[in-house]
Structure 1
Amino acid sequence: MKASPATLRDRAETRLREKKPREAATEPQRVLHELQVHQIELEMQNAEMQEARDRMETLLEQYTDLYDFAPVGYFTFTTAGVIQQANLTGSRLVGIERAKLVGRHFGPLLATGTRLAFTTFLQQVFASQAKQSGDFALPHRTVNIEAQRSPNGQECRAVVVDVTDRKHVEDAVRRSETRYRRLFEAAHDGVLILDPGTRQITDANPYMTRLLDYPHDQLVGKELFEIGLLKDESASQEMFRKLKRQHEVRYEDLPLESKTGRHQEVEVVANLYQENGHAVIQCNIRDITVRKRAEEALLRSEALFSTLIEQAPFGIYVVDAKFRLQQVNVRALAVFKDIEPLIGRNFSEVLPLLWSKRISDPIIKRFRHTLKTGEPYQAPEFNERRRDIGEMQIYEWQIQRVTLPSGEHAVVAFFNDITERKKAEWVRRRLDVLTASNQKLEQEIVHRKAVEDALRQSERQQGEMLTQSRAMQEQLRQLSRQVLQAQEEERKRISRELHDVIAQTLTGINIRLGTLKQAAGLNTKDFGRNIARTQRLVEKSVGIVHRFARELRPAVLDDLGLIPALHAYLKSFMADTGIRVSLRAFAGVEQADPALRTVLYRVAQEALTNVDRHAHASRVAVSIEPLPQCLCMKITDDGQAFDVERALQGGKRLGLLGMRERLEMVGGSFSITSTPGKGTTIEARLPLRKSRAKPTARRAKAKSKS
């Protein structure tokens, strides 16, 4: 606060007395005293002015910080759109340093399509004192500019806000609304929108108009009972009361008659929800007429199936997909009569109650096999002792898989108890030729047992050999995978060592030699030439190391992805061989698992190496495209064809075998088509698995440096 002259005088007098006591006043002393007081007053005024200036500079710094670091851009424009002032946020919005912005026209910084609109906007700003606002497009973002003319009428101040995210959200909302409307229009269920207050229909989709045979304009404004969906108005009121309490009402089976008299069965689900702050009711109506008819047909089919089983002249029982006894006819029930409970019981529990484990286990195994594969089984004559009653019984039986009316698979067993018939036949044969029959029977039994034993032994041996063969094959495959994986890891390690250690060392030598060359500039020319020659050798060594590193494991494959790595390799390949190669790939391949991308790169590398060595081709096309559940890479050349089967079976084309093994190692497939006059196509297919791997060490290092 500025002191008044009287106050300043009193303070100066006080300070002077503190320095020097006042003596008796003479005229010269009085004048001197006045001068001293005036000097102190000036000193105090200077101190106050300095303090005020310091406060002013602090306030100015604070204002400058607020101006520069505000979350929005501030600009001052002339009538021609020339930038006079801009804060730091504004310079970041347009992507130009603030020092280079002043004096430039703002219009050319905008996207081409909005420059004319900005000129019109400026004219409106300077035409009135009111604020003007508009959205304009910069090359990479959208901004809102709000401007107002200054009192002098020669300039305007503008606030520029980045509204890119808001625009994206608005676009997403518009797209969402469009998608919802398309779903609403294309739905294969009827959809009605109702006002909870009036209970009247406000909208209906096209399927609803076809279901009811009402035009859209006749549906709007009606209540549900008026279109035949509910019985009467009281039923409609009851449904709305339930909706208010539960927010959802479901009717499983309602009769519906269309305007033209067509009768249908429908399922109705009504939901009450909020939309933009207003309550809305949505009714989904599904036509279940066809389903109801199918259910009725299924019931009739099941009744017919049960009737056929019950009236069959032999024993029948049914084992369902869960291996439970589902149905047993009267003739079969006599066999299971002492077992309780029977229906619904697991068949593997029932059978051991009738027969010994030696008999029941193979039968249960046969039933399961037929249920799984659908292979029918005709059993040989069955003659065994019952476990429950201790009697020998003879049966003829067979099993077959069927599809029940419910759509599930089941096994149906047909059998006849031929015990008495077999006994009568045996007695008759014994009476005719008892001795001869006995001898032949014994021989036949011995022969059959021998044959069966030999057959069982052979089957066991074959099974053991097959198991051993599969185990050895799996061991060989596992070993091959381990070798390939170890080879890949070793390549990656060597590549990193060459790139990160050796190459850096050689580069450091090169830089040092360059320094020596500059330092020796005053010496003889021979020394300079030797240094230059040494530099060329070092540069050549660096290039060799980099090329060696790329051949072992291209760093670009880990750092940038498969497509850049293939581009780099193809460029080098074309430069070395003169063969023209084209690449077509979809960007989504970079989302695949790193192991899959490595396999694709190695297969392409090996395939192109084979083209250079054997095909004598002039052009090669490489493509990577998505297929359902897999990635497909094709390498096609216009060179000489070859015998694919002979090359693979001979074992001499290790490159082809290596490609196939790499693909099979990650669950892929490999095929070659080679036709004389048309060239060769290698096709590799890999299962589509997205990457879950953590960033590589190189990426993590790059990220930390950034």
Structure 2
Amino acid sequence: MTLFPMQGVKVQQTPPMCSTMKKNKSNTLDRHELRLKAEERFKISGLIPESTTSPAEMQRILYELPVQQIELELQYEQLQHAYDQIQQQQQRFTNLYNLAPVAYLRLAPDSTIIEANKTIESILSVKRSDLIGARLGGLIAQKDLPAFNDMIDTAFQTGAKEHCEITIGNIFCRLDALIIDNAEECCLTIIDISDTRRAKEALKHKEAQYRSLFEASQEGILILDYKSGKIVDANPYISHLTGFSFNEIVGKELWKTGFFLDKALAQTAYLELQSKSYNCYSNVILQEKSGRAIAVEFISYVFYVGDEKAIQCNIRDIIDHNRLRDYENTISKSHKETIHALSSMVEVRDSYTTDHQKRVAELSVAIAKELKRSPIEIEGLQLSSILHDIGKFNIPAKILVKS
């Protein structure tokens, strides 16, 4: 190839260094077009060597030209490599942008959608092409439109990040708006919070249910701070049980409430829960505000609220329970005495049965224990064995019909 037509000097063109570079028709520059532009600019520059140039100078120029050509080709190769990397990075960011779980939009001040990623299609079930140019405000539920408009207006006026929660169709969404680059566009993110909202509603409903059970319980319930032992909550039945109002006991340690006669027991019960999760005390004596003493069962256990520990104390009035137990014990004792009296009458009537029923009862009890029967079953079997010969004793008819 002739670089300089004057003096008939010919120089071989150096093979391009970038010939091994990856070809990409979409981003490779038109070399022929560049060549034409370069020759045109070279002619205008007036840098064509004069014919009077000495052979030595011409030799130097001929040496410099291919070297500079190689430098330019190396630079071009570097630029092309950098361009390819930028393209790859841009593609990665485009994929992240379109596949993000959050919808990204650019809005005009009147909420017209300028750009959106593909996620908006899965959230709103509307094609992205149909959304471009539409006003986002037109998709928002009427009741939420004032909140949305206030958010957009405030974002454009202050430039600060703003957010709101609105409904689009049957989807609950959180919107975050921020003005960047210029005051003519707003960057907006949309997150589908439908599942979160439903979970919150379900949790709120469950909390209301538990609160209702807590307040309607027919035994006193105290909630204590685990670290200090102070009462943080109490149900209404505590006031009914002790006569002390909620305001009179809240914030106090359990042993300083005024209704524990045995303050040391209350403090011991609390300290035990620092090393174990449950304790139970029966026949604990409390003193009502009026001064009357009552017997209760006091049960405490540790539970978790998130990562924090708390203590629940259940206080159950056992006065009626004790009365019922005493009555049952009296009836049971009377029942046993009657059976033994009848057994003695049989033995008096028939001397051959003396101690026979007792031995049968003892044998029955031994067999029952071997069979691992419950205490109640064993007791019933013992009494039945004592009575098994009761038929030998006849009660006169005139006694049975006597009124």
TM-score with structure 1 length normalisation?
A: 0.42
8 Å contact from structure 1 (residues 135, 144) kept in 2: yes
SS at match of 1:245: coil
Amino acid of the structure 2 residue aligned with 1:335? T
Matched residue type, 1:416: K
Q: Which moved more, 1:301-310 or 1:409-418?
A: 409-418
Look up the equivalent residue of 2:111 and give its one-letter code: G
CA contact (8 A) 1:91 1:101 kept: no
Aligned residues of 2:254 and 2:267 also touching (Cα < 8 A)? no
Q: 1:417 to 1:198 in 2, by over 3 A?
A: closer
Contact 1:314–1:332 at 8 Å: present in 2 too?
no
The aligned residue for residue 100 of structure 1 is 130
Pairing of 1:515-664 with structure 2 (within 5 A): none
Greater RCO (Cα-Cα under 8 Å, separation 6 or more) = 2
- Is 2:269 aligned against 1:271? no
Distance 1:301 1:229 in 2: 34
Cα drift, residue 242 of structure 1: 1.8
Moved more, 38-47 or 227-236: 38-47
- Partner residue of 1:345? 363
Structure 2 unaligned segments of length 5 or more: list them: 1-10, 18-53, 369-378, 395-403
Residue in 2 that maps onto 1:16 = 14
Residues 39-118 of structure 1 mapped to structure 2, 5 A cutoff: 50-118=80-148
Change (3 A) 1:236 1:49: closer
Mapped contact 2:259–2:288 kept (Cα < 8 A): no
Which residue in 1 is equivalent to 2:48?
none
Q: Deviations over 1:527-570 (max 9, x none)?
A: xxxxxxxxxxxxxxxxxxxxxxxxxxxxxxxxxxxxxxxxxxxx
Q: Post-superposition shift, 1:250?
A: 1.0
Question: Which structure 2 residues correspond to residues 216-615 of structure 1 after superposition, within 5 A?
Answer: 216-225=246-255, 230-312=260-342, 334-335=352-353, 337=355, 341-346=359-364, 413=388, 414-416=390-392
Which range moves more in the overlay, 334-343 or 298-307? 334-343
Preserved contact between residue 221 and residue 315 of structure 2 (Cα < 8 Å): yes
Matched, 1:166 2:196: yes
Structure 1 CA distance for aligned equivalents of residues 351 and 236 of structure 2: 57
Residue segments in structure 1 that go unaligned for 5+ positions in a row: 1-12, 317-328, 351-404, 419-706
The CA RMSD measured in Å over matched residues stands at: 4.0
Q: Distance in 2 between matches of 1:314 and 1:34?
A: 139
Once residues 208 and 311 of structure 1 are traced to their aligned partners in structure 2, the CA distance between those partners, rounded to angstroms, is 48
For residues 352 and 257 of structure 2, the distance between their equivalents in structure 1, rounded to whole angstroms, comes to 59
Q: Partner of 1:188: helix, strand, or coil? A: coil
Pair 1:189 & 2:219 matched: yes
Q: Which residue of 1 aligns with 2:174?
A: 144
SS at match of 2:275: helix
Percentage of identical aligned residues:
28
Q: Are the equivalent residues in 1 in contact too, given 2:242–2:259 (CA < 8 A)?
A: no
- For the Cα contact (< 8 Å) 2:222–2:312, is it kept in 1? yes
The offset of 1:292, in angstroms, is: 1.0
Deviations 1:401-423 (A, max 9, x none): xxxx99xx9796532269xxxxx
Cα deviation for residue 30 of structure 1 reads 8.9
Preserved CA contact (<8 Å) 1:315 1:416: no
**In 2 relative to 1, CA 222–121 (structure 1 residues): closer, same or farther, beyond 3 Å?**
closer
Tell me the alpha carbon deviations over residues 620-650 of structure 1, each in whole angstroms, 9 at most, x when there is no partner: xxxxxxxxxxxxxxxxxxxxxxxxxxxxxxx
SS where residue 159 of structure 1 aligns? Answer: strand
Residue 219 of structure 1: CA displacement? 2.9
Q: How far apart, CA to CA, are the structure 2 residues paired with 1:43 and 1:278?
A: 68
- How far the C-alpha of 1:314 sits from its partner, in A, is 7.6
Q: Residues of 1 paired with 2:224 and 2:177: CA distance?
A: 46
Q: Which residue of 2 aligns with 1:362?
A: none
Opposite residue 16 of structure 1, the aligned amino acid is: T
Residues in 2 aligned to 1:197 and 1:229: alpha-carbon distance in whole angstroms: 22
> Residues 113 and 338 (structure 1 numbering): CA distance in 2 closer, same or farther, change over 3 Å?
same
With over 3 angstroms needed to count, the CA separation of the structure-2 counterparts of 1:331 and 1:76, relative to structure 1, is farther
Q: Does the alignment pair 1:179 with 2:209?
A: yes
Q: Is the 8 A contact 1:75 1:159 kept in 2?
A: yes
SS at 2:156 equivalent: helix
Aligned residue among 207, 223, 234 for 1:204:
234
Counterpart amino acid of 2:98? D
For 1:307, give the aligned amino acid.
Answer: E
